Structure 1
């Protein structure tokens, strides 16, 4: 089935197409158009021309349009979850979770559309400022170029499209080449709302063509990108004075403090954080630091819980682990795991391919910091477990990373919990939970090579608007 580009409220054929295959089966799903520079130009032009129509919408109207989209997502929940399962090999129960989060994200955006506030300023607080009424407002920045990854093809798109519409901007979206069907399904739903035509556009294709065209075009005023640090850093270097928000890599860490009870709930939470969606989550739990007094017990319990995970088709509602997004990732992860064992790591469970598409959920212990499975982002079903004697050592190990997205600590000691909030150099600290936790209204982003700027609807709106000061002399 040939898909089309969505530009200026119309479906447009591509000049060239590539085949899209299901990662878990190799089944051909569709033919995806490869946008040309001219197609990207048309989409940007449509978005620019739609700015006036968007500017005429009230906050109430923007909120209502997003509510229309929420209702359409609810009506099509089963269909959309199946699309994610097919093209992303996301286990069906996790795919439903993503659709539910997507619904919540657009719902939050519909509410935040009515809460874009400024503030009054007391200029008479300084000599010469008296006799004036001064306040600020936030205005839409203009055309936003959004570039999204494969792992949450509905919800990470929502975190760019939702706040853009809420704040009165227009969008050109380049979805991940591995998961374009989700974005095109979204376009079909948006087309049924009252959003002005041209305010939302989709151009599928190569990042070297579509992404570069968005970043370099003078009419694109902001870029919001989720993906690898290498691509994100290169993008930022090209963007010039454009507003840029980057959500990049991570190898999120968790500390389990001395005296913590290793309950089933805690163990299951660690297993979920490590292996949900095959570890292909930006804040997937990759490094665990356990107090030495708990190490043996923790490894036994995690091993048992991990080996109970069901491996199978993403379309089976009982499946926990399915195919990775590509065969190359299976090969890469296998090499990294083998090298870590060669360098002295202990294999607790897993450590091998199930087949060319699936890698077994893997737990490694006593892994050197120089190993790729520790110092790089695995983005697969692998977690490492190391022990520590003093809490300060654990803080140092967590911070010993090029990344800093989120980190967590399980502790019964309030002083240790508060110390973690001060010592951990990350964008978010989770007390008594894994760093894989996220709900869609919280500020989300990292430090170091994990990114630049914040998402979460309220915070994304701030990134997508300009602050204007107005002063009236009485």
Structure 2
């Protein structure tokens, strides 16, 4: 048999779960490699997935320059054409849904079944929704003493989008889709712990016909390229999802040029369980907070239970949580996958150990498992001012406290520096309305959790964020709103 010719080396291509992924940046419609790389490790088993191009400030500036160059033509593109291209991107996502799910599970450790059933379909929906909303975006003209007011949403310019590792592609496209729909060009900087599906998104966008420079992807460390992106004079919008300390640095960097910011930050959300609640429903809601190994900013990690039902709630909760299966996220039987990175696992365990040392009691869990997983944990006997109650852990760690009446429930619920979300379990409609009105939160769920409609405003209060995105609120942020006032007189008759 004749010798088969050797395949040419492709040093910038890796294969992840059978899917080829380019490890270079996507800038100005082409792949660009950096001189150095960083290692991307799979949280499932710690193996090296690949060496990813590590952007420098020069790379970041090149991406912004590409976005700036592409902006005039993209801003001038009709709404109908922009919407058509976003629907084409959604088509591409749906065509490659299985590949995206496999790569993201390998890269960030979330459940494969969740990526297949919910997360990746939501990615496509993000593009379709904002494409359709763009076409419907309108404000009726109104009269002021015989003058006509006409409101428009004008593209603002190049936008820097910095996204987290816990739901990489879904949260990236939650920003990318409205920014592109608004007529802005984009520089997307994905988290270094989970960069791969952003690279695939660049391929999908190019195949859909998105013009060069409209979407750019740069990979690397925020500590190295963050300022080059957020302080750049040509950047007109910055949207960030992540931690409060990082947000402070971004805000300080953007302040010199008064670049508008949208910040979706941490949370320490409560789940209030009243004695009149359906306890089985309340338990289901509480156990759901372990989703994605607790790595969810919206998670109601503080269980506040009315004293008269606390013992029964705790019994049912521990029985239910003990049945959760922890293991390989690719296994359909798995309920809880690994923590994203050894550093994050160490951080989570540090919170728990300090709480136990301070007198907390672990009713459930309280320890790592096999060095990559953290056991679903419930801590009781915690003080309201304890670190474990006040600070975001971002792992499968819940605390349980009791209250005696509505006033105490609301006081405990609101007694943190955060205000992202809150969940109520009650059988009394009047109580639900009363308590929801008193809570400080961007979203309040009543007898449900994590129901999010793209038409609704999303964001946090206090240190949980600045601004709201979703629906028209996204366009309000990504656009410059203009009001044109026209007089009825002064016109020449050319008829």
Alignment partner, residue 261 of structure 1: 278
1:58 aligns with 2:75: no
Q: 1:438 Cα deviation (Å)?
A: 2.9
Which aligned runs of 4 or more in structure 1 are off by greater than 4 angstroms? Answer: none
Q: 1:228 Cα deviation (Å)?
A: 0.3
Once the two structures are superposed, the pairs formed by residues 159-174 of structure 1 within 5 Å of their partners are: 159-174=174-189
Alignment partner, residue 127 of structure 1: none
Q: 1:437 Cα deviation (Å)?
A: 3.9
The alignment partner of 2:323 has SS state of coil
Alignment partner, residue 5 of structure 2: none
2:486 and 2:311 mapped to 1: Cα distance? 69
Alignment partner, residue 252 of structure 1: 269
Farther-moved stretch of structure 1 (157-166 vs 207-216): 207-216
In structure 1, runs of 5+ residues without a counterpart are 125-129
User: What is the CA deviation profile of residues 282-307 of structure 1, one whole-angstrom value per residue up to 9, with x for unaligned ones?
Assistant: 10120011111110111011101111
The alignment partner of 2:168 has SS state of coil
Aligned-CA RMSD value: 1.4
1:342 aligns with 2:357: yes
The alignment partner of 1:173 has SS state of strand
Once the two structures are superposed, the pairs formed by residues 271-420 of structure 1 within 5 Å of their partners are: 271-272=287-288, 274-420=289-435
Alignment partner, residue 195 of structure 1: 210
TM-score (norm 1): 0.95
Q: 1:450 Cα deviation (Å)?
A: 0.2
Q: 1:447 Cα deviation (Å)?
A: 0.7
Mapped contact 1:373–1:382 kept (Cα < 8 A): no
1:214 to 214, 218, 229: 229
The alignment partner of 2:233 has SS state of coil
1:292 and 1:215 mapped to 2: Cα distance? 48
The alignment partner of 2:64 has SS state of helix
1:98 aligns with 2:119: yes
Alignment partner, residue 73 of structure 1: 93
Mapped contact 1:145–1:223 kept (Cα < 8 A): yes
The alignment partner of 2:422 has SS state of strand
The alignment partner of 1:467 has SS state of strand
Mapped contact 2:159–2:186 kept (Cα < 8 A): yes
Alignment partner, residue 112 of structure 1: 133
Q: 1:457 Cα deviation (Å)?
A: 4.1
Mapped contact 2:406–2:435 kept (Cα < 8 A): no
In structure 2, runs of 5+ residues without a counterpart are 1-10, 13-22, 490-495
Mapped contact 2:278–2:425 kept (Cα < 8 A): no
Alignment partner, residue 462 of structure 2: 448
Q: 1:391 Cα deviation (Å)?
A: 1.1
1:278 and 1:440 mapped to 2: Cα distance? 24
Mapped contact 1:225–1:232 kept (Cα < 8 A): yes
The alignment partner of 2:236 has SS state of strand
Mapped contact 1:19–1:30 kept (Cα < 8 A): yes
2:278 and 2:235 mapped to 1: Cα distance? 52
Alignment partner, residue 24 of structure 1: 44
Mapped contact 1:5–1:203 kept (Cα < 8 A): yes
